[in-house]
Chains A and B, each alone.
Chain A
Amino acid sequence: NAGVTQTPKFQVLKTGQSMTLQCAQDMNHNSMYWYRQDPGMGLRLIYYSASEGTTDKGEVPNGYNVSRLNKREFSLRLESAAPSQTSVYFCASRGPDGYQPQHFGDGTRLSIL
């Protein structure tokens, strides 16, 4: 059972480099999300996509862009990485019903030097 798959699992970048984090889900979910997780701060929403073709800003969107490529895939791009973007990034998806949980991938650990 794949669920939500994130690639890569680890990445080290230099300041100013660009990178795209990939996420794919096989549960036919409409909604997808990107979060970052920093120590003591829980999960903060970066961007989300309620359905294919739509994206919206979350709590901390600055420095990021997203693409909902199709129903399965939702990518997160850092155009010019900064040390403040060092974090663990999680992708999640959710089914359509009212109280469905979000299903998370295992995360991408990103370090920016």
Chain B
Amino acid sequence: TQLLEQSPQFLSIQEGENLTVYCNSSSVFSSLQWYRQEPGEGPVLLVTVVTGGEVKKLKRLTFQFGDARKDSSLHITAAQPGDTGLYLCAGAQKVMAAGNKLTFGGGTRVLVKP
């Protein structure tokens, strides 16, 4: 079983502060996805990173895929209360395999206080 470890498990910050969430594994992934989940809803995709060393930006969110494709990070600049939620990383080992299973990390619960 391939494991994805997320840290920290919980993060509470004030509005305007920055935060970083980490996702680490001993396995290599062909791609890694970040999802955000609101209470009472299913996860929704934020971004997919594919190439080792890749950096993607989505407004105030910056995602990085490690050079060896074993780890990733999510950095939020000037966090806002609307960023509150559960952030999940998920790795895929095969690109075109039927079913393309994902391995999910344990999640990081982020609370941004106004």
The chain A residues found within 8 Å of chain B, CB to CB, are: 4, 30-31, 33, 35, 40-45, 48-51, 56, 58-59, 90, 92, 94, 98-102, 104-107
**Which B residues, 64 to 114, have Cβ-Cβ distances below 8 Å to chain A?**
88, 90, 95-96, 98-102, 104-107
Q: Contacts A106-B42, A107-B42 known; list 8 others, CB within 8 Å.
A: A31-B98, A31-B100, A42-B107, A43-B90, A98-B95, A101-B33, A101-B35, A105-B42
Of B1, B9, B40, B43, chain A has the most CB atoms within 10 Å of the CB of B43
* Beta-carbon nearest neighbor of B45 in chain A: A101
**Residue B11 lies at the interface, judged by CB distance under 8 Å to chain A:** no
The reply to whether A99 and B95 form a contact with Cβ atoms under 8 Å apart is yes
- 9 residue pairs bridging A and B, Cβ less than 8 Å apart: A40-B107, A50-B98, A50-B99, A51-B98, A98-B96, A101-B48, A102-B102, A105-B42, A106-B41
B contacts, CB < 8 Å to A: 1, 4, 6, 9, 31, 33, 35, 40-45, 48, 50, 88, 90, 95-96, 98-102, 104-107
Nearest CB in chain A: distance from B61 CB, A: 16
CB distance from B45 to the nearest CB of A (A): 4
How far does the Cβ of B2 sit from chain A's closest Cβ, in whole Å? 10
